[in-house]
Amino acid sequence: MTTALPLAPYEALSAVYDRWTAENDYPRWADHLAGRFRAHGRVSRVLDVCCGTGTITRLLQERGLDVVGVDGSPGMLAAARTRTAPGTELLEVRLPGPVPLPAASFDAAVCCFDSVNYFRPDQLPQLFAGVAELVRPGGLFVFDVNTRHKLENLLGDSHYGDDLEEFAYVWRNRYHPEEHRCDFAISLFTQDGPGFVRQTERHSQWWFDPAEIRSAAAAAGFETVGVEDDYQEREPGPQTLRETWTLVRRPAPTG
């Protein structure tokens, strides 16, 4: 078995990501998003922030939406290009940096599967401001976040692993309560001739107090119009693992 130095997030995971996340109910998430768009009205062009391998991008396209994806991982985008509709615009962008797209050119933006948790608390206002720049006044931003309960109590300082035939993995977590952060060390074992290659990635996620999210959203020109439990029409509670937030960009001032 050979071992490499720790890799950037998704540098190795991109090759097995779809098998890794096969149990996610992506169609339900996409139905929820499309329902939000229909209820809001005038949503046809959508920005998929941190689009990953393009599963949500494709599902929204199948629901009649024009979707552009951005992500910071070349490997994830390579997979997205094989899944999404021909001609889909997919941009490699390291967020929360600027996105080279026209201002106010989208009716809505989405950011799914706890991608927002990867941004440090000091980056949250910049992320929201960047999305607000691209969404028209009156447009939506729908995203999800892992909750404090999940990072603190479910993930915490746990460790686990599995053998999924194509690959195996060991996942170790370390929780830092004073920083509201959980660090993940994920070791992948993939076939390499008669042996295996071990590749380790290190990830960090932060949880956010709802007041932090509302404050960053308001500073960027968004109004919070709803918070739900994991893409379902019910309020989050103490045991909620994933919250789904819906923001609307306030109209531009007049006069």
pLDDT at position 168: 95
* 254 has pLDDT over 90: no
Instruction: Report if residue 230 sits inside a domain.
Output: yes
pLDDT at position 50: 98
| 201 and 220 co-located in one domain | no
pLDDT digit string, tens, across residues 172-200:
999 999 999 999 999 999 988 888 899 99
Closest CA to 143 of 39, 46, 19, 73: 46
Hey, what long-range contacts does 120-128 have (CB within 8 A, 24 or more apart)?
120/206, 121/180, 121/206, 121/208, 121/212, 123/96, 124/208, 124/212, 124/213, 124/216, 125/216, 125/219, 125/220, 126/96, 127/95, 127/96, 127/216, 128/216, 128/217, 128/219, 128/220, 128/222, 128/247
Residue 118's domain comprises 23-148+209-249
| 188 and 233 co-located in one domain | no
| 48 and 92 co-located in one domain | yes
| 71 and 173 co-located in one domain | no
Tell me the mean pLDDT in the region 72-98. 97
Instruction: Report if residue 16 sits inside a domain.
Output: no
Tell me the mean pLDDT in the region 7-21. 94
pTM, 2 dp: 0.96
pLDDT at position 134: 98
Beta partners for 171?
Answer: 160, 186
pLDDT digit string, tens, across residues 235-244:
999 999 999 9
pLDDT at position 196: 87
Choice between 107 and 165, residue whose per-residue pLDDT is larger: 107
* 255 has pLDDT over 80: no
pLDDT at position 25: 97
Binning pLDDT at 50, 70 and 90, where does residue 252 land?
Answer: confident
Question: What mean pLDDT value characterizes the chain?
Answer: 95
Instruction: Report if residue 17 sits inside a domain.
Output: no
Domain count for the chain, please give it.
2
Tell me the mean pLDDT in the region 27-50. 97
pLDDT at position 5: 57
pLDDT at position 194: 82
pLDDT digit string, tens, across residues 210-221:
999 999 999 999
DSSP letters, 189-249, are: EEEETTEEEEEEEEEEEE---HHHHHHHHHHTTEEEEEEEESSSSS---TT-SEEEEEEEE
| 123 and 136 co-located in one domain | yes
Binning pLDDT at 50, 70 and 90, where does residue 155 land?
Answer: very high
| 222 and 154 co-located in one domain | no
pLDDT digit string, tens, across residues 53-83:
999 999 999 999 999 999 999 999 999 999 9
| 136 and 162 co-located in one domain | no
Instruction: Report if residue 127 sits inside a domain.
Output: yes
Binning pLDDT at 50, 70 and 90, where does residue 99 land?
Answer: very high
CATH number at residue 165: 2.20.25.110
Instruction: Report if residue 255 sits inside a domain.
Output: no
* 158 has pLDDT over 60: yes
| 83 and 139 co-located in one domain | yes
